[in-house]
Structure 1
Amino acid sequence: MASQGYGDIFAGHARRRRTAAPTVAAERDLVVEDAATGFCGAVVGFERTYDGEFVRLEDGRGRTRLFAMREAAFLVDGSPVTLTRPAPRATAAPRRSASGSTRVENVRASVALPSRIWVEGVHDAAIVERVWGHDLRVEGVVVEYLEGLDNLADRLQEFGPGPKRKVGVLVDHLVSGTKEEQLTRSLGPFVEVTGHPYIDVWQAVKPSAVGIAAWPVVPRGIDWKTGVCDELGWGTPRDGWRRVYESVSSFRDLEAPLIGAVERLIDFVTDPS
């Protein structure tokens, strides 16, 4: 029987169709899975080698690995994608700093003032740096942490505050009748104490910024950070801190009492009078 010219009878068959994987910009913190190994992590960087472009992924345990950015080599929400480097961002610097102040361009950090701002812990210092770091470098203000408010009296005695060596102290949970209030009474004219009502600086981050409806209420007797992480399913306090820290990009992510407290301390230690 003569051929009737049906063409390729397998054209359009599922085994012959091949849909190109969509291209996705590998923005920082995008979570992807390497299709070949199953390694799942967030994008934290890129490297260019003689073998081509590679993306660096970091998993939930902090382990990082490099993967070649080949076609359809990754999965996002279970679907194959081809990762590409994000388009270069605009080089023009923002006119405002993270604190909302006017950004000073092309300026070196000022020589550190003798005065200091002290905060209770490393998380407090990190949040202050995250939002007010630009302002502090322009003014030459150094932020140090006390490793607990119980060390305040000894540190003040060692530092010796004076007219040109002032100390501003940022205190967590500074409310009437608390231990924090008692430890910060009558410290002299060259020491300014401000604070916020929150149990921890984490709580001074707006819940909406972290992606929750509200901060959990943790029963007394339970470490607050541990209780929060257990309630929200965040893992360890170290895991929780990473979530909190990365959710803060400007003063808009913070509650007003913390913003006001830090601004008053900066004004106090930089006021020449």
Structure 2
Amino acid sequence: MNDRYGTDVLSGDWRAPRRGRAQPVEAEPGLVVEDVDTGWCGAVVRVEKAGGMQVVHLEDRRGRTKGFPLGPGFLLDGRPVVLTVPTGERRAQVEAARKAASRTASGSVAVRGQAARVASGSRIWVEGRHDAELVEKVWGDDLRVEGVVVEMLDGVDDLAGEIRRFAPTPDRRLGVLVDHLVPGTKESRIVAEAERVSPHARILGHPYVDVWQSVKPARLGLDVWPVVERGRSWKHGVLQELGWPHASQADVARGWKKILAAVRSYSDLEPTLLASVEELIDFVTVP
């Protein structure tokens, strides 16, 4: 028998909102959500009890923090959610999963229970502290297993002279990571001269003005890194464009710490930096 009136329009969950019913989600630190009422979008910083209620604090891409009542009224990837207090059990599960992970931050197979190897004679040089801290965070486990030490240069203006003083050998190799290594720059001319010093030194780089740019901007809620005009301090300019404190070197240090904290693994870095660092590690660890 044909149904001349079609299907029952009231069948099923017809009262469901257009975006679907809100699902409970634990407010874990780093979770990025949007408050429906105000449009405020940010990452969960912490959950605390205030004034007899649970409050979730969200930090936006400019570093500003705002508190909201924990519960309904949030969007996660465009879908409604009800934020709940992170449970101790959930945190324990996350920690257990982290410890059981078989990969380091660089994506290498993790070696458990092995003490760091005594440092070899080979070295990797980077231009500054921020470069060294980023390499340590992502490749530190690998480098300790291999016994390779990362050292900071005070700029690369006399790179050829520094390589001569180091005097690399087949068993004592040297890898150098250079910022802003693109054709036509001062750095490219310096590297061209330094490459002639020794076959046991390898010099590679990345195209970014500063190693900050090697962190994918999406980790900071950006589409692209801000453009800073020539003649202006790049780091101070970036912090200013982001709306972060930028007046002093202490502000720069705090800004970098925030950027570095956003890096979880190699997947948060641009491929050009990854390729250069991986090749340098391979070069200095060849038997």
Match of 2:132 in 1: 125
Match of residue 266, structure 2, among 244, 251, 254:
251
Q: After superposition, give the CA deviation of every residue in 1:131-163 in whole Å (9 maximum; x if it has no partner).
A: 111111111111111021125334323322122
Q: Is contact 1:72-1:80 (8 Å) kept?
A: no
Pick the structure with greater CA Rg.
1
Work out the number of aligned pairs and report it: 218
Match of 1:51 in 2: none
Separation (CA, whole Å) in 2 of partners of 1:79 and 1:240: 28
Match of residue 69, structure 2, among 61, 67, 79:
79
Separation (CA, whole Å) in 2 of partners of 1:235 and 1:193: 35
Match of residue 177, structure 1, among 158, 164, 184:
184
Match of 1:225 in 2: 235
Match of residue 191, structure 1, among 198, 201, 222:
201
Separation (CA, whole Å) in 1 of partners of 2:70 and 2:286: 58
After TM superposition, the score normalised by the length of structure 1 is: 0.70
Q: Is contact 2:28-2:86 (8 Å) kept?
A: no
In the TM superposition, residue 78 of structure 1 has moved relative to its aligned partner by 4.2
- Label 1:73 to 1:143 Cα distance change in 2 as closer, same or farther (>3 A): farther
Aligned with 1:149: secondary structure? coil
Q: How does 1:42-81 map to 2 (within 5 A)?
A: 72=52, 75-76=55-56, 77-79=67-69
In the TM superposition, residue 239 of structure 1 has moved relative to its aligned partner by 3.0
- Aligned pair 1:213/2:219, yes or no? no
In the TM superposition, residue 28 of structure 1 has moved relative to its aligned partner by 5.8
User: What amino acid maps onto 1:161 in structure 2?
Assistant: P
- Aligned pair 1:267/2:273, yes or no? no
Separation (CA, whole Å) in 2 of partners of 1:261 and 1:178: 18
Identity of aligned residues (%): 50
- Deviation larger for 158-167 or 186-195: 158-167
In the TM superposition, residue 73 of structure 1 has moved relative to its aligned partner by 7.6
Q: Is contact 2:173-2:200 (8 Å) kept?
A: yes
In the TM superposition, residue 220 of structure 1 has moved relative to its aligned partner by 0.2
Separation (CA, whole Å) in 2 of partners of 1:100 and 1:78: 37
In the TM superposition, residue 26 of structure 1 has moved relative to its aligned partner by 8.7
Separation (CA, whole Å) in 2 of partners of 1:247 and 1:220: 27
Q: After superposition, give the CA deviation of every residue in 1:153-184 in whole Å (9 maximum; x if it has no partner).
A: 34323322122211100011101111111111
- Aligned pair 1:241/2:256, yes or no? yes
Q: Is contact 1:209-1:248 (8 Å) kept?
A: yes
User: What amino acid maps onto 1:254 in structure 2?
Assistant: L
Separation (CA, whole Å) in 2 of partners of 1:249 and 1:78: 27
Give unmatched runs, 5+ long, in structure 2. Answer: 1-24, 32-44, 57-66, 72-83, 247-251
Aligned with 2:184: secondary structure? coil
- Label 1:78 to 1:70 Cα distance change in 2 as closer, same or farther (>3 A): closer
Q: Which one has the bigger helix percentage?
A: 2
Separation (CA, whole Å) in 2 of partners of 1:160 and 1:231: 43
Q: Is contact 1:26-1:85 (8 Å) kept?
A: no
Aligned with 1:170: secondary structure? strand
Give unmatched runs, 5+ long, in structure 1. Answer: 1-23, 31-41, 44-54, 56-66
The CA RMSD measured in Å over matched residues stands at 2.9
Separation (CA, whole Å) in 2 of partners of 1:112 and 1:143: 10
After TM superposition, the score normalised by the length of structure 2 is: 0.67
Separation (CA, whole Å) in 1 of partners of 2:86 and 2:106: 32
In the TM superposition, residue 83 of structure 1 has moved relative to its aligned partner by 7.5
Aligned with 1:150: secondary structure? coil
Match of 1:95 in 2: 102
Separation (CA, whole Å) in 2 of partners of 1:151 and 1:140: 27
Aligned with 1:126: secondary structure? helix
Separation (CA, whole Å) in 2 of partners of 1:73 and 1:159: 62
Match of residue 123, structure 2, among 102, 110, 116:
116
Aligned with 1:261: secondary structure? helix
Separation (CA, whole Å) in 2 of partners of 1:207 and 1:137: 29
In the TM superposition, residue 90 of structure 1 has moved relative to its aligned partner by 4.2
- Deviation larger for 121-130 or 87-96: 87-96
In the TM superposition, residue 102 of structure 1 has moved relative to its aligned partner by 1.0
Separation (CA, whole Å) in 2 of partners of 1:252 and 1:261: 15
User: What amino acid maps onto 1:217 in structure 2?
Assistant: V
